[in-house]
Amino acid sequence: MSGAYDDRDGKIWMDGKLVDWRDANVHILTHALHYASSVFEGERCYDGKVFKSREHSQRLLKSGELMDMEIPYSVDEIEAAKRATLDANGLTNAYLRVVAFRGAGEDMGVAASRNPVRMAVTCWEWGNYYGDAKMKGAKLDIAKWKRPSPETIPVAAKAAGLYMICTMSKHAAEAKGCSDAMFLDYRGYVAEATGANIFFVKDGEVHTPLPDSILNGLTRQTVIGMLKDRQIKVHERHIMPEELEGFEQCFLTGSAAEVTPVGQIGDFNFEVGALTREIAEGYEKLVRA
Protein backbone atom coordinates (compact mmCIF):
# COMPACT_ATOMS: atom_id res chain seq x y z
CA MET A 1 0.00 0.00 0.00
CA SER A 2 1.39 3.39 -0.97
CA GLY A 3 0.33 6.90 -1.86
CA ALA A 4 -1.44 9.58 0.14
CA TYR A 5 -3.12 8.25 3.26
CA ASP A 6 -6.53 9.59 2.20
CA ASP A 7 -6.42 7.96 -1.25
CA ARG A 8 -5.96 4.22 -0.82
CA ASP A 9 -7.82 1.01 -1.35
CA GLY A 10 -8.95 -0.94 1.69
CA LYS A 11 -11.29 -0.77 4.65
CA ILE A 12 -11.36 1.30 7.83
CA TRP A 13 -13.45 0.41 10.88
CA MET A 14 -15.42 3.49 11.89
CA ASP A 15 -18.06 3.79 14.59
CA GLY A 16 -18.98 0.13 14.56
CA LYS A 17 -18.75 -0.79 10.88
CA LEU A 18 -16.23 -1.23 8.09
CA VAL A 19 -16.29 1.46 5.43
CA ASP A 20 -14.33 2.02 2.24
CA TRP A 21 -10.99 3.71 2.94
CA ARG A 22 -11.79 6.84 0.93
CA ASP A 23 -15.18 7.22 2.63
CA ALA A 24 -13.77 7.33 6.19
CA ASN A 25 -14.30 11.07 6.60
CA VAL A 26 -15.34 13.51 9.34
CA HIS A 27 -17.03 16.91 9.25
CA ILE A 28 -14.93 20.10 9.23
CA LEU A 29 -16.50 21.05 12.60
CA THR A 30 -15.30 17.88 14.29
CA HIS A 31 -14.28 19.04 17.77
CA ALA A 32 -10.97 17.15 17.70
CA LEU A 33 -9.82 19.10 14.65
CA HIS A 34 -10.21 22.40 16.51
CA TYR A 35 -9.39 21.49 20.11
CA ALA A 36 -7.29 18.29 19.94
CA SER A 37 -9.89 16.23 21.82
CA SER A 38 -8.40 13.00 20.54
CA VAL A 39 -6.50 10.01 21.92
CA PHE A 40 -4.91 7.17 19.99
CA GLU A 41 -2.83 4.02 20.01
CA GLY A 42 -0.11 2.90 17.61
CA GLU A 43 0.34 -0.89 17.48
CA ARG A 44 2.12 -3.47 15.38
CA CYS A 45 0.77 -6.79 14.19
CA TYR A 46 3.37 -9.54 13.67
CA ASP A 47 2.41 -12.71 11.80
CA GLY A 48 -1.26 -12.14 12.57
CA LYS A 49 -0.88 -11.24 16.26
CA VAL A 50 -1.02 -7.69 17.60
CA PHE A 51 1.72 -7.31 20.20
CA LYS A 52 0.38 -6.25 23.62
CA SER A 53 -3.00 -5.75 21.96
CA ARG A 54 -5.20 -5.73 25.07
CA GLU A 55 -2.76 -3.48 26.93
CA HIS A 56 -3.03 -0.98 24.08
CA SER A 57 -6.83 -1.13 24.18
CA GLN A 58 -6.83 -0.67 27.95
CA ARG A 59 -4.54 2.33 27.63
CA LEU A 60 -6.80 3.87 24.99
CA LEU A 61 -9.71 3.74 27.42
CA LYS A 62 -7.52 5.17 30.18
CA SER A 63 -6.39 8.01 27.92
CA GLY A 64 -10.01 8.83 27.16
CA GLU A 65 -10.80 8.85 30.88
CA LEU A 66 -7.88 11.20 31.59
CA MET A 67 -9.14 13.50 28.82
CA ASP A 68 -12.67 13.53 30.30
CA MET A 69 -13.81 11.71 27.18
CA GLU A 70 -15.53 8.40 27.84
CA ILE A 71 -14.97 6.05 24.91
CA PRO A 72 -18.19 4.07 24.22
CA TYR A 73 -16.50 0.73 23.56
CA SER A 74 -15.14 -2.01 25.83
CA VAL A 75 -11.71 -3.59 25.54
CA ASP A 76 -13.30 -6.66 23.92
CA GLU A 77 -15.13 -4.50 21.38
CA ILE A 78 -11.92 -2.62 20.52
CA GLU A 79 -10.11 -5.93 20.12
CA ALA A 80 -12.83 -7.19 17.78
CA ALA A 81 -12.64 -3.97 15.74
CA LYS A 82 -8.88 -4.38 15.30
CA ARG A 83 -9.25 -7.97 14.18
CA ALA A 84 -12.03 -7.07 11.75
CA THR A 85 -9.90 -4.30 10.23
CA LEU A 86 -6.85 -6.52 9.77
CA ASP A 87 -8.98 -9.28 8.23
CA ALA A 88 -10.81 -6.88 5.92
CA ASN A 89 -7.49 -5.59 4.58
CA GLY A 90 -5.89 -9.03 4.35
CA LEU A 91 -2.92 -8.02 6.53
CA THR A 92 -0.96 -10.16 8.97
CA ASN A 93 2.06 -7.85 9.37
CA ALA A 94 0.92 -4.27 9.78
CA TYR A 95 0.83 -1.10 11.81
CA LEU A 96 -2.52 -0.29 13.43
CA ARG A 97 -3.76 3.15 14.43
CA VAL A 98 -6.79 3.26 16.75
CA VAL A 99 -8.14 6.75 17.36
CA ALA A 100 -11.00 8.01 19.53
CA PHE A 101 -12.15 11.61 19.28
CA ARG A 102 -14.92 14.07 19.94
CA GLY A 103 -16.88 14.50 16.76
CA ALA A 104 -19.17 17.23 15.47
CA GLY A 105 -22.32 17.77 17.52
CA GLU A 106 -24.34 20.36 19.39
CA ASP A 107 -21.27 22.08 20.85
CA MET A 108 -18.64 24.05 18.97
CA GLY A 109 -16.46 25.70 21.57
CA VAL A 110 -13.95 24.60 24.15
CA ALA A 111 -16.61 22.61 26.00
CA ALA A 112 -18.07 19.71 24.04
CA SER A 113 -19.79 17.37 26.47
CA ARG A 114 -22.81 16.98 24.15
CA ASN A 115 -20.72 15.87 21.16
CA PRO A 116 -20.38 12.14 20.42
CA VAL A 117 -17.11 10.34 21.06
CA ARG A 118 -16.23 8.46 17.90
CA MET A 119 -13.66 5.77 17.17
CA ALA A 120 -11.85 4.45 14.12
CA VAL A 121 -9.35 1.66 13.43
CA THR A 122 -6.96 1.73 10.50
CA CYS A 123 -4.04 -0.47 9.45
CA TRP A 124 -1.37 -0.50 6.79
CA GLU A 125 1.96 -2.07 5.96
CA TRP A 126 4.81 -0.07 7.48
CA GLY A 127 8.50 -0.89 7.55
CA ASN A 128 11.19 0.43 9.88
CA TYR A 129 10.06 3.73 11.41
CA TYR A 130 13.58 5.18 11.13
CA GLY A 131 14.52 3.46 7.86
CA ASP A 132 18.12 2.23 7.70
CA ALA A 133 18.83 3.84 11.08
CA LYS A 134 17.41 0.60 12.50
CA MET A 135 20.77 -0.94 11.57
CA LYS A 136 23.20 1.97 11.50
CA GLY A 137 21.95 4.05 14.43
CA ALA A 138 19.69 7.08 14.31
CA LYS A 139 20.96 10.65 14.47
CA LEU A 140 19.03 12.88 16.88
CA ASP A 141 18.80 16.63 17.25
CA ILE A 142 18.14 18.18 20.68
CA ALA A 143 14.74 19.86 20.59
CA LYS A 144 14.34 23.49 21.61
CA TRP A 145 10.96 22.62 23.15
CA LYS A 146 10.65 20.89 26.51
CA ARG A 147 8.28 18.30 27.82
CA PRO A 148 5.86 20.16 30.12
CA SER A 149 5.10 19.57 33.77
CA PRO A 150 2.47 16.94 34.70
CA GLU A 151 0.70 19.82 36.44
CA THR A 152 -0.07 21.26 32.99
CA ILE A 153 -1.01 18.18 30.94
CA PRO A 154 -2.14 14.56 31.55
CA VAL A 155 1.24 12.96 30.81
CA ALA A 156 -0.17 9.42 31.14
CA ALA A 157 -2.59 9.98 28.24
CA LYS A 158 -1.59 9.21 24.67
CA ALA A 159 -3.36 12.32 23.48
CA ALA A 160 -3.04 14.06 20.12
CA GLY A 161 -2.44 17.52 21.58
CA LEU A 162 0.69 16.37 23.39
CA TYR A 163 2.33 15.67 20.03
CA MET A 164 2.22 19.25 18.73
CA ILE A 165 5.79 19.97 19.84
CA CYS A 166 6.82 16.54 18.58
CA THR A 167 5.83 17.40 15.02
CA MET A 168 7.58 20.76 15.21
CA SER A 169 10.72 19.25 16.73
CA LYS A 170 10.90 16.39 14.23
CA HIS A 171 10.52 18.79 11.31
CA ALA A 172 13.38 20.89 12.69
CA ALA A 173 15.49 17.76 13.17
CA GLU A 174 14.85 16.49 9.66
CA ALA A 175 15.85 19.88 8.26
CA LYS A 176 19.25 19.30 9.92
CA GLY A 177 19.61 15.83 8.44
CA CYS A 178 18.57 14.03 11.64
CA SER A 179 16.06 11.22 12.07
CA ASP A 180 14.43 12.60 15.21
CA ALA A 181 14.85 14.89 18.19
CA MET A 182 15.39 14.32 21.90
CA PHE A 183 13.44 16.36 24.41
CA LEU A 184 14.51 17.58 27.80
CA ASP A 185 11.70 17.99 30.32
CA TYR A 186 10.57 21.15 32.09
CA ARG A 187 13.28 20.64 34.74
CA GLY A 188 16.09 20.15 32.24
CA TYR A 189 16.33 16.36 32.55
CA VAL A 190 16.57 14.05 29.54
CA ALA A 191 13.02 13.02 28.64
CA GLU A 192 12.37 11.12 25.37
CA ALA A 193 12.33 11.36 21.59
CA THR A 194 9.31 12.67 19.69
CA GLY A 195 7.59 9.29 19.62
CA ALA A 196 9.83 6.91 21.53
CA ASN A 197 11.38 6.36 24.95
CA ILE A 198 15.16 6.50 25.35
CA PHE A 199 17.75 4.22 27.01
CA PHE A 200 21.49 4.55 27.61
CA VAL A 201 24.18 1.96 28.33
CA LYS A 202 27.28 2.43 30.49
CA ASP A 203 29.56 -0.25 31.94
CA GLY A 204 27.07 -2.99 31.12
CA GLU A 205 24.20 -1.28 32.96
CA VAL A 206 21.21 0.57 31.52
CA HIS A 207 19.92 4.03 32.42
CA THR A 208 16.55 5.43 31.36
CA PRO A 209 14.54 8.51 32.41
CA LEU A 210 11.86 8.17 35.06
CA PRO A 211 8.43 8.35 33.37
CA ASP A 212 7.24 11.14 35.65
CA SER A 213 6.66 13.67 32.88
CA ILE A 214 6.50 11.37 29.84
CA LEU A 215 4.40 8.44 28.65
CA ASN A 216 5.54 5.15 30.18
CA GLY A 217 5.54 3.30 26.88
CA LEU A 218 4.43 -0.32 26.61
CA THR A 219 7.56 -1.12 24.62
CA ARG A 220 9.62 0.65 27.29
CA GLN A 221 8.07 -1.56 29.95
CA THR A 222 8.65 -4.66 27.81
CA VAL A 223 12.32 -3.84 27.25
CA ILE A 224 12.92 -3.15 30.95
CA GLY A 225 11.47 -6.60 31.64
CA MET A 226 13.76 -8.14 29.03
CA LEU A 227 16.80 -6.46 30.56
CA LYS A 228 15.93 -7.61 34.06
CA ASP A 229 15.35 -11.16 32.80
CA ARG A 230 18.94 -11.04 31.52
CA GLN A 231 20.17 -9.88 34.94
CA ILE A 232 21.12 -6.48 33.52
CA LYS A 233 20.78 -3.69 36.06
CA VAL A 234 18.34 -0.96 35.03
CA HIS A 235 18.48 2.50 36.59
CA GLU A 236 15.23 4.45 36.16
CA ARG A 237 16.28 7.93 37.21
CA HIS A 238 16.63 11.58 36.33
CA ILE A 239 19.40 12.02 33.75
CA MET A 240 21.14 15.34 33.16
CA PRO A 241 22.06 16.19 29.53
CA GLU A 242 25.77 16.55 30.40
CA GLU A 243 25.76 12.85 31.31
CA LEU A 244 25.36 11.92 27.63
CA GLU A 245 29.12 12.28 27.14
CA GLY A 246 29.74 9.31 29.46
CA PHE A 247 27.26 6.86 27.94
CA GLU A 248 28.56 4.25 25.51
CA GLN A 249 25.36 3.16 23.78
CA CYS A 250 21.87 4.54 23.28
CA PHE A 251 18.65 3.16 21.86
CA LEU A 252 15.01 4.14 21.41
CA THR A 253 11.90 2.04 22.08
CA GLY A 254 8.33 2.32 20.87
CA SER A 255 5.63 0.40 19.03
CA ALA A 256 6.60 2.14 15.79
CA ALA A 257 10.33 2.47 16.55
CA GLU A 258 10.55 -1.05 18.06
CA VAL A 259 14.17 -1.07 19.35
CA THR A 260 16.30 1.34 17.30
CA PRO A 261 19.95 2.12 18.09
CA VAL A 262 21.10 5.73 18.27
CA GLY A 263 24.49 6.75 16.90
CA GLN A 264 24.43 10.46 17.69
CA ILE A 265 22.55 13.03 19.78
CA GLY A 266 23.70 16.58 19.10
CA ASP A 267 27.49 16.50 19.53
CA PHE A 268 27.48 13.20 21.47
CA ASN A 269 28.31 9.93 19.71
CA PHE A 270 27.40 6.36 20.67
CA GLU A 271 28.41 2.94 19.41
CA VAL A 272 25.82 0.49 18.14
CA GLY A 273 27.04 -2.02 20.69
CA ALA A 274 26.44 -5.63 21.59
CA LEU A 275 23.85 -4.97 24.31
CA THR A 276 21.76 -2.76 22.05
CA ARG A 277 21.85 -5.36 19.29
CA GLU A 278 21.01 -8.15 21.73
CA ILE A 279 17.93 -6.32 22.98
CA ALA A 280 16.85 -5.39 19.45
CA GLU A 281 17.16 -8.99 18.30
CA GLY A 282 15.50 -10.30 21.47
CA TYR A 283 12.58 -7.92 20.99
CA GLU A 284 12.17 -9.04 17.39
CA LYS A 285 11.94 -12.66 18.55
CA LEU A 286 9.56 -11.80 21.40
CA VAL A 287 6.99 -10.01 19.26
CA ARG A 288 6.88 -12.97 16.88
CA ALA A 289 6.80 -15.66 19.56
Amino acid identity of residue 1, one-letter, is: M
User: Virtual CA dihedral for 180, 202, 155, 189, nearest 10 degrees?
Assistant: -90
Q: Are 219 and 202 spatial neighbours (Cβ–Cβ below 8 Å)? A: no
Which residue in the list 52, 82, 158, 170 is annotated as catalytic? 158
Candidates 160, 209, 162, 174; CA nearest to 188 is: 209
Alpha helix (H) residue ranges in 193-235:
218-229
Known catalytic residue: 202? no
**DSSP codes of every residue in 78-109:** HHHHHHHHHHHHT-SSEEEEEEEEE-SSS--S
Sign of the torsion formed by the C-alpha atoms of 25, 26, 32 and 33: positive
Candidates 251, 259, 261, 260; CA nearest to 287 is: 259
Grouping H, G, I as helix, E, B as strand and the rest as coil, residue 171 is: helix
Q: What are the residue numbers of the active site?
A: 158
